Every structure is written in structure tokens, then in C-alpha cells.
């Protein structure tokens, strides 16, 4: 499923070059999209020869997979760490959403690059979201055991609904909202979602 196939560099210099390629690719896949950003664009941006690229990656697609998998692990790790000490399901959701939004505000390219997987590598697209959803579902099932979540709710449907909320609220936050993003606005968004999860949308 979600595995890395790249053979990592063996010296500090190699690692530095590897990272330069990743950073340039991140920037260009985000700005120009995967198909429009060429290997030449990437190595020019990184001040390297074309051949150097193929020392570190088998293909353009394997570089792309490497980026998506690293975002997957980063996002999961951040959320797991931050929600470690949460006492309730709702607190988990609040800190989880906040962590996700902070991550995509800091790294908006991660957002667009993951989104592109439907076009670049459909297997990766499916694996990415199903892996995320399965882990989420397990947590929700545990919360049902603890009596924190209504057992009438189907946890797979709920997992996707919650992922959808994070992703689309993130979409608005990063791409569509033209005003400056202050802490207050993000708090307001998170609070609105948590009210909904706590009491529903009504009065």
C-alpha cells in the first residue's frame, strides 16, 4: 500500500541534493501542477543537471509518490502528537482540526499536491484516503465503546464526513479566502465546526 520505493542518498552531500530536488518539486508541482512542471523546470530551480535527478528518483512519478507519502506521515504524526493527551472525542476533533489547518497554512503546497493524486496516480489517491479513513474509523469505534459517540452513527460514514469537513474548510482557509488569515479567524472556524459536532447545526 503506502510504501516508499526510493533508494535514499548515502552521503550528506547526496542528502542535501535530494532535499533540494524535493523542495523545488514541491514548489513547482504546487505552482504549475504536476503535468506542467517538467523535470527540467525542477532541476533548473534546484541548480542541478537533468541526470542528477535520475540518481535519486526512478521517474517523475516516483518523486511525486515520495512527496505525497511524506505529507501523509507528517500530517498523521502531527495530529497524533497534538491529540495525545486529549480527554474527550470532541477535544480530539478540535485539536485535530486545528492541527490540520495549521499544517496546511504552513505548507499549502502539500494540500494541492495531495489533491492532484487523482490525476497523477489513482492507486495512491485511493490508498491515501482509505488509509486515513480506516485509522479514523478505529478511533471513532473506540469512542463508541467509551460512550462518547452515538452508536447509531455509521463510523465509516462519519470518518469520511469528518475528513471532508477538514479538507473543505482547509480549502476555503488557504485558497479562497482573500483576506489576511489571523488567529481569530481560524479560531472562529474551528469553534463553528465544534459547535456543530457537539450540538448539531440548530439552536
Partner DNA sequence: ATATAATATGAATATCTAATCACCTTTTGT
Partner DNA sequence: ACAAAAGGTGATTAGATATTCATATTATAT
* Positions that interact with DNA (CB under 7 A): 9-17, 35-36, 38-40, 47-55, 59-61
Interface residue with a second copy, options 119, 123, 138, 145 (CB under 8 A): 119
In the complex, least distance from residue 199 CB atom to DNA, rounded to whole angstroms: 50
Residues 171-200 that bind a second copy (CB under 8 A): 171-172, 175-176, 188-189, 191-193, 195-200
| Residue 73 binds a second copy, judged by CB under 8 A | no
Closer residue to a second copy (CB): 58 or 172: 172
Would you say 74 or 191 has its CB closer to a second copy? Answer: 191
| Residue among 51 and 200 whose Cβ is closer to DNA | 51
Q: Give whichever of 59 and 88 is closer to DNA, judged by the CB atom.
A: 59
d(CA 63, CA 84): 32
Residues that bind a second copy (CB under 8 A): 33-35, 89-90, 93, 112, 115-116, 118-119, 122, 126, 129-130, 133, 147-150, 152-154, 156-158, 160-161, 163-169, 171-172, 175-176, 188-189, 191-193, 195-203
Amino acid at each position: 500500500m503506502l510504501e516508499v520505493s526510493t533508494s535514499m542518498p548515502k552521503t550528506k552531500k547526496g542528502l542535501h541534493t535530494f532535499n533540494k530536488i524535493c523542495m523545488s518539486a514541491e514548489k513547482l508541482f504546487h505552482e504549475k501542477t504536476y503535468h506542467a512542471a517538467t523535470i527540467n523546470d525542477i532541476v533548473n530551480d534546484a541548480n542541478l543537471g537533468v541526470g542528477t535527478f535520475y540518481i535519486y528518483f526512478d521517474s517523475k512519478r516516483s518523486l511525486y509518490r515520495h512527496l505525497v507519502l511524506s505529507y501523509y506521515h507528517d500530517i498523521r504524526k502531527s495530529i497524533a502528537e497534538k491529540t495525545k493527551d486529549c480527554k474527550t472525542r470532541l477535544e480530539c476533533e478540535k485539536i485535530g482540526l486545528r492541527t490540520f489547518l495549521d499544517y496546511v497554512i504552513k505548507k499549502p503546497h502539500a494540500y494541492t499536491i495531495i489533491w492532484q493524486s487523482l490525476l497523477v496516480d489513482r492507486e495512491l489517491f485511493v490508498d491515501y484516503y482509505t488509509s486515513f479513513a480506516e485509522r479514523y474509523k478505529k478511533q471513532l469505534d473506540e469512542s463508541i465503546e467509551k460512550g462518547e459517540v452515538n452508536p447509531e452513527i455509521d463510523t465509516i460514514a462519519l470518518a469520511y464526513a469528518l475528513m471532508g469537513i477538514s479538507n473543505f474548510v482547509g480549502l476555503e482557509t488557504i485558497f479562497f479566502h482573500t483576506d489576511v488569515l489571523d488567529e481569530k479567524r481560524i479560531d472562529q472556524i474551528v469553534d463553528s465546526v465544534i459547535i456543530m459536532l457537539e450540538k448539531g447545526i440548530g439552536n
